[in-house]
Amino acid sequence: MNYQHEFHAGNFADVFKHVVFCRILHYLREKPAAFRVIDTHAGAGLYDLTNEKAMRGGEWHSGIGKLMDAPIPQSVATLLSPYLDVVRAVNERDRLRVYPGSPALARAWLRPQDRLIACELEPKVAAALSRNLHGDNRIKTLLVDGWTALKAYVPPKERRGLVLVDPPFEAEDDFSRLASGLAAAHRKWATGVYALWYPIKGRREVDALAKRLRRLALAKALRAELLVSPLGDPTRLNGAGIVVVNPPWMLENELSVLLPALAGLLGRDGKGTFRLDSLGGESPSHSV
């Protein structure tokens, strides 16, 4: 695998994914019972935005850089605060030098009773992940294939929690594995919250994924997509999507506020678009 997230850390797709991720963590913390986060493709955890790769990619400027500098209405700022507060906490005086990936974001939301399993397959990245999260006994970092972890570590003993699945989508079958991996995990742990992230370059693979997920007949699966540019060029990353299975009951309403705001802020030339709909049944949202 040659995917290197240093080039892309903090881009619009990270921002979108992590905003949703932190909203879910916010709701998990509202109940006193312990929860567990399972991050199947965790990456390094923290990314230096001043290093050569991040500077050469420069994608964070049109992602977290743009969001941090933008005037944001208070209603939107309140919903963004669980995410932006962590970003600011790992930086000094609002100077963006470090971007927290999903394991670092999750760590900020763990209470003493909560746990995180962060999985990474690439050895050098896994070593960086272990260094970045070292010394916290609530966290276990594992050198393991995320697809294996998706099946092996559910259900957690806490019986509450969130599984984040965001593979690099280098392999041709990653879209189909996203659906089959969810199906296998959901059979073992039907009440867990699952967040499945995917890139959008064109519609063919994305629509095929939606069709596979609908066939699973899940009680509740919320789909949110953010497009920052039209789909005319299938070689570039034009958008990103996330499907949340068993979403917190307020998440759909919150995304109806967040998505248009993010589309306006992060869309190229301010012309982003979004989609928010269901891929599941009509039963009430799962309470976490």
Q: Give dist(CA 234, CA 123) in Å, integer.
A: 31
Alpha-helical runs (H) found in the chain: 12-28, 52-57, 64-69, 74-89, 102-109, 123-132, 146-152, 174-188, 204-215, 251-266
Within its chain, how far is the Cα of 207 from the centroid? 20
Query: Exposed, middle or buried, 219 (CB in 10 Å: 0-12/13-18/19+)?
Result: middle
Q: Give dist(CA 178, CA 195) in Å, integer.
A: 11
Active-site residues, by number, are: 166
Q: Give dist(CA 153, CA 156) in Å, integer.
A: 6
Q: Give dist(CA 9, CA 253) in Å, integer.
A: 28
Find, among 188, 208, 159, 180, the residue nearest to 28 by Cα: 159
- The helix/strand/coil state of 86 is helix
Query: Exposed, middle or buried, 66 (CB in 10 Å: 0-12/13-18/19+)?
Result: middle
